[in-house]
Amino acid sequence: MPTSSLRFGLRLVYISAALSFLAALAACEDEQAPPSPPAAVEIVSGDAQYTKKGTKLEDPVVVRVTDDKGAPASHMTVHFAVIEGGGSLSKGAATTNDQGRASVTWTVGPATGTNRMRVTVSENSALGLVATATSAEYYCPEEDPTFSAKFTGTGDILMLTHASTFSDDADLVHYDLNPGLKTFAGDVLETYPDGIGQVVVRDCVFSANGDLFISWVNGANEVVKVATNGTVTHFATLEPPPIGSLQQGAELAMTPNGVLVGCDVVGPFYVTCRDTLFRFEDAIYTGIDRDAANNDAVACDPNSGDVYFIYLADRDLLRIPFDGVTVGTMEKVADLDIEVSDGAKGMVVDGADGSIYILADYSTTTTRKEIVRVTSAGVVSTARDFTTRLDAGVQSDLAIDRSVHYLFTLDTKNNVFLAFGLPTSADPGTLVTFTASIDPGQASDASSGERVGLDIVPVAGP
């Protein structure tokens, strides 16, 4: 047989085999049952997330479509559409895979609040659901606000100090106050050797879940998280003071849902768990001369989370509504005298009646040392005058024990703790003085007084 005839014959064989295979495949497909219609759709993951406004959710929203037997329904068309919040999606539709799943990436809208997305299935118009997300002013998924007593004993004082007889370095000291004997005794939780230059002690605060944070300038201007054995890990880098300002560091406070708030000379701020500092847009100053905030005074309402701080130029006590998600419009609470606005060394809010308490220690042109009370309506009064007490002393920082409704401060010149009964306490207006049971220098070893940070070990969230 000629070669050309052989090649032609082989082509016929190949073509015949291919046609037979295709016919068999078609017959096989004809024998398969058509896919069952989709009967249910559910969200597998990605619902109820939150992120900073205008940003992408960390995880995609994944849905699953199933048939009437609960088996995955593949090759179904799922539609996604934003119906609230003004955000955007990576796609408007997707086809389910072999597991019946489809997903979409969601960027929330530019405003704070609830975002919603509707999910529907083409093959069954009766199916549908709504996914939600929260567009927030901050992003902190690691913070669990569930309280646990990580430090003991509750009601005692933890203080960050750089001048005590415990060591020549900065110390985090636990103080046990004895109400019966009116004495105190301290023990060091941890000593922090100086980094680059002397440690500048600023403040310490307990979070909503019982964690302890401290603010200092130790080479870096930062906030660190403190373990129960006293060791620290970096939490947030704070901005250095503006050129021309001599005031370093920041005062700290915590919202009831666990957002770290602080105030430096540039104004109040809040810090996310991703080491990102956000400013309140209505309260940003140059930090130079009097166009600055008092970086020794900031407080959060333990119920609402509203932030209180002092603007030096106008001598105003200001409030920023802040629930941990939404920032409201800043408003003035009260006018303050210069001795209070400039001399404020600590500030707290009594959640029982909303009163704001400011520790003022002013000795520039006049001497004024007192605890000032500002009601929620803005009425200013003197809650306790320290001016004539023991040569006036040097009062430093203010802490509140909300379980017994007492304020605590330390007179670092006379080395005594002072406790003052709030109007909501069993002993309103009572001043209790605690003296050292052993060595007064455990509280302070600076004859002229010093800057400290202190807070009360909470029995419940602060």
* 182/309 same-domain check: yes
* Residue 62, domain member (yes or no): yes
Q: Is residue 263 predicted with pLDDT exceeding 90?
A: yes
End-to-end CA distance of the chain: 100
Sheet with 49-52, side-by-side order of all strands: 49-52, 124-136, 113-121, 77-84, 93-95
Please tell me whether residues 277 and 389 are part of one structural domain: yes
Please tell me whether the peptide bond between 153 and the residue prior to it is cis, using omega within 30 degrees of 0: yes
Report the range of poorest mean pLDDT among 29-33, 39-43, 282-286: 29-33
Under DSSP, the state recorded for 86 is: S
The three-class DSSP label of residue 315 is: coil
Please say which residue of 105, 136, 167 terminates a domain: 136
The most confident of the ranges 107-116, 306-315, 316-325 is 306-315
**CA 253 and chain centroid, separation:** 9
| HSE (side-chain half, CA atoms, 13 Å) at 38 | 28
Q: Which residue has the higher pLDDT, 4 or 210?
A: 210
Q: 6 to each of 2, 13, 17, how far by Cα in Å?
A: 6, 11, 17
Tell the burial category of 306 from Cβ atoms under 10 Å away from its Cβ (0-12, 13-18, 19+): buried
Q: What is the CATH number of the domain that holds 218?
A: 2.130.10.10
136, 165, 200 - which closes a domain: 136
Whether residues 332 and 431 fall in one domain: yes
pLDDT of residue 7: 45
Please give the backbone phi and psi of residue 28, each rounded to the nearest 5 degrees, phi first. -65, -45
223's tokens? 């906030």
Task: Tell me which residue has tokens 């073509």.
Answer: 15
Q: Which of 205, 318, 284, 320 is nearest to 252 (CA)?
A: 205
All residues at 6 or more sequence positions from 73 whose CB lies less than 8 Å from its CB, including other chains: 35, 36, 37, 38, 39, 65, 66, 67, 96, 100, 123
> Which position has the higher pLDDT, 90 or 34?
90
49-52 vs 124-136, strand pairing mode: parallel
pLDDT given for residue 14 in this prediction: 47
The answer to whether position 151 is within a domain reads: no
Q: Are residues 74 and 175 part of one domain?
A: no
Residues 6 and 54 occupy one common structural domain: no
Torsion from C-alpha of 215, 221, 227, 230, nearest 10 degrees: -80
The pLDDT value recorded for residue 1 is: 47
pLDDT one-digit tens code per residue, 397-448: 999 998 899 999 999 888 999 999 999 888 999 999 999 998 988 988 887 7
pLDDT at 236: 85
Lowest mean pLDDT among 127-136, 155-164, 193-202: 193-202
Confidence grade of residue 13 (pLDDT, cut at 50, 70, 90): very low
Specify whether 308 is located in the same domain as 181.
yes
Supply the pLDDT for residue 240. Answer: 85
Same domain, 315 and 412: yes
64 in a structural domain:
yes
User: Per-residue pLDDT for 234 more than 80?
Assistant: yes
**What number of other Cβ atoms are within 10 A of residue 281's Cβ?**
10
177 in a structural domain: yes
The answer to whether residues 344 and 431 belong to one domain is: yes
Tell me, yes or no, whether 274 and 349 share the same domain. yes
Whether residues 269 and 403 fall in one domain? yes
Look up the domain containing 432 and give its range.
157-456
Q: Are 304 and 353 in contact (CB under 8 A)?
A: no
CATH of the domain at 126: 2.60.40.10
CA distance 275 to 292: 24
Average of pLDDT values for 16-25? 52
Residue 148 is assigned to a structural domain of this protein: no
407 DSSP β-pair partners: 400, 420
Report pLDDT for 6. Answer: 42
Q: 211 — phi, psi (to 5°)?
A: -75, 155
Are 358 and 346 in contact by the 8 Å Cβ rule? The answer is yes
Total domains, the chain: 3
**19 pLDDT higher than 80:** no
Tens-digit pLDDT profile for residues 165-195: 998 888 999 999 999 999 999 999 999 887 6
Assess whether 207 and 132 both reside in one domain. no
Q: Which of 73, 78, 228 is nearest to 148 (CA)?
A: 228
CB 451 within 8 A of CB 444: no
pLDDT in tens, 99-154: 999 999 999 999 888 899 999 999 999 999 999 998 876 555 445 567 778 888 88
Does residue 147 sit within a domain? no
Distance from C-alpha of 396 to C-alpha of 289, rounded to nearest angstrom: 23
33 pLDDT band, cuts 50/70/90, is low
Average pLDDT, the chain: 86
Identify whether 150 is part of a domain: no
Q: What share of the chain has pLDDT > 70, as a percent?
A: 87
Taking alpha carbons only, the member of 111, 156, 158, 163 closest to residue 133 is: 111
Q: How many other β-carbons are positioned within 10 Å of the β-carbon of residue 299?
A: 26
Q: Is residue 320 part of a domain?
A: yes
Paired tokens of 267: 């104004």
Residue 12 has pLDDT above 50, yes or no: no
Dist. CA 180–CA 172, nearest whole Å: 25
Rounded to whole angstroms, how far apart are CA atoms 385 and 420? Answer: 11
Residue 14: enclosing H or E segment and its boundaries?
Answer: helix 3-31
> What pLDDT is stored for residue 10 in this prediction?
41
Tokens of 243: 């050129």
pLDDT, mean of residues 286-315: 96
Contact status, residue 372 vs residue 421, Cβ threshold 8 Å: no
209 is written with which tokens? Answer: 């879940």
> What is the CB neighbour count within 10 angstroms for residue 390?
11
Least confident among 16-25, 86-95, 256-265, 380-389:
16-25
Q: What is d(CA 143, CA 146) in angstroms, rounded to the nearest whole number?
A: 9
Instruction: Please tell me what DSSP assigns to residue 441.
Output: G
Of 33-47, 87-101, 104-118, which gets the smallest average pLDDT? 33-47
Q: What is the pLDDT of residue 266?
A: 95
Same domain for 131 and 200, yes or no, is no
Q: Mind listing the pLDDT tens digit for each residue in 329-388?
A: 999 999 999 999 999 999 999 999 999 999 999 988 788 999 999 999 999 999 999 888
Q: Which residue type, as a one-letter code, is found at position 351?
A: G
Res 446: pLDDT: 82
Residue 3 has pLDDT above 50, yes or no: no
Q: What is the pLDDT of residue 5?
A: 46
